Amino acid sequence: MRKMFILMVMVSASVFLICGSGLAEIFVTNDGYDPPYFSVTVFANNANGDQAPLRIISGDQTGLSFPRGIFADPVNNEIFVATQGGDVLVFNINANANATPIREINQTGLGDFQGIFVDLVNNEIFIANRSYDAITVFNRTANGTLAPIRTIQGANTGLDEPRGIYVDTVNNEIYVANNYGDSITVYPRTAVNNASPTRTITSTTADLSDLQGIFVDNLNNEMFVAGNYQSTIYAFTRTADGDTAPLRAIEGASTGLDGMRGIFVDTVNNEIFAANRSGDSVTGYSRTANANASPLRTISGASTFLDGSRFVWVTAPPVIATPSVVPTITEWGMIIFMVLAGLGAIYYLRRRRIES
């Protein structure tokens, strides 16, 4: 009887720990000039300074060649890496050294992949095809040489060397940062063919040339985009449209921004991460940082093996504002814990009453 009660509590506690915990790590793609050349470096979430990575994925068996966008999926324990050659390499999230991909997508027709986003709600992969002015979509579990399930491409799309991409699964929108278009274009999540954008963000008060990474913060209704040549991170309202001035701009000598590519916004810890290709570094800022703000931390130095850093992703799960109240994985763990603990307590009390 008592053993049964203890067992139920232990099981429920284990469920809570599994659902409510998880390693938060920083993933960075690199295509540098020094060994290990093409790589994915993985750091602890609290990394700072000249700190060695936890793991480095690199070697001929990895298939990494000019890696670009990266997405780390802690739900299915996978890492997705887009390459300039037009491949998507999928690794186990704990992959290390000369690991072989568990899946590989070789696209037919287009290529020059840049930014990548994995929609875990609808199980789809979205990729920005720079030289082809296109967005291609695949099933999340796709493998082998195959055509995309959807393609956005054509004169009406406004796509002009797209680099960064983000899929807002709350509002069912695709955000694209256009490298040559000096613009951010927004589409319905299921857009296809020569679809026109529902919104196009430009700015006469901010330099939106050479845009790279993009990230949407649903919790605070903001959108962040990285400018490479100007070494600036702009923040706009999520619903911005037309000629719009940014809410904030992180820029200046003190920021440490240097030829950045990818960005990530951790809404749990209110921190912006930037991958600096020219600076061989990852810098972190307060989410509300503005102007010539100094970074909260800088991961940089010989021990980091950061070299030509391209894109960055952090597995700290973002808090997403949803239109309906749906429990998170952590909340489900707590619910299961409380239910099982309650049932165990009832069972224990009833047995005691019978025995007495």
- Is the pLDDT confidence value at 336 over 90? no
Residues 224 and 226: their CA atoms lie apart, in Å, by: 7
- For residue 208, tell me if it sits in a domain: yes
| Closest C-alpha to 78, from 88, 64, 63, 93 | 93
For residues 34 and 19, membership in a common domain is answered with no
113's tokens: 């992949």
- For residue 323, tell me if it sits in a domain: no
CATH at residue 37? 2.130.10.10
For residues 193 and 130, membership in a common domain is answered with yes
- For residue 320, tell me if it sits in a domain: no
If you search the block for the tokens 């998507």, which residue do you land on?
88
For residues 5 and 141, membership in a common domain is answered with no
- 89 and 61 in contact (C-beta within 8 Å)? no
Query: Parallel, antiparallel, or unpaired for β 199-202 and 113-119?
Result: unpaired
For residues 163 and 306, membership in a common domain is answered with yes
Domain encompassing residue 202: 29-315
For residues 272 and 311, membership in a common domain is answered with yes
- Is the pLDDT confidence value at 167 over 50? yes
* pTM summary value: 0.84
For residues 3 and 104, membership in a common domain is answered with no
For residues 302 and 337, membership in a common domain is answered with no
For residues 123 and 165, membership in a common domain is answered with yes
Residues 334 and 330: their CA atoms lie apart, in Å, by: 6
The predicted-structure confidence for 36-91, as pLDDT tens digits, reads as follows: 999 999 999 999 999 999 999 999 999 999 999 999 999 999 999 999 999 999 99
Dihedral angle computed from the Cα positions of residues 258, 264, 265 and 269, in that order, rounded to the nearest 10 degrees? -90
| Closest C-alpha to 210, from 348, 114, 353 | 114
- For residue 299, tell me if it sits in a domain: yes
For residues 234 and 290, membership in a common domain is answered with yes
Q: How many residues does the chain have?
A: 356
DSSP secondary structure, 20-49, as one string: H----EEEEEEE-SSTT-EEEEEEETT--B
For residues 190 and 220, membership in a common domain is answered with yes
In degrees and rounded to multiples of 5, residue 349 shows phi and psi of -65, -40
- For residue 303, tell me if it sits in a domain: yes
For residues 261 and 354, membership in a common domain is answered with no
Rg over alpha carbons for the chain, rounded to the nearest Å, is 22
- For residue 260, tell me if it sits in a domain: yes
For residues 20 and 74, membership in a common domain is answered with no
Mean pLDDT of all residues in the chain?
Answer: 88
- For residue 279, tell me if it sits in a domain: yes
* Number of domains within the chain: 2
- For residue 211, tell me if it sits in a domain: yes
Please report the pLDDT score of residue 35 as a whole number: 87
The predicted-structure confidence for 196-229, as pLDDT tens digits, reads as follows: 999 999 999 999 999 999 999 999 999 999 999 8
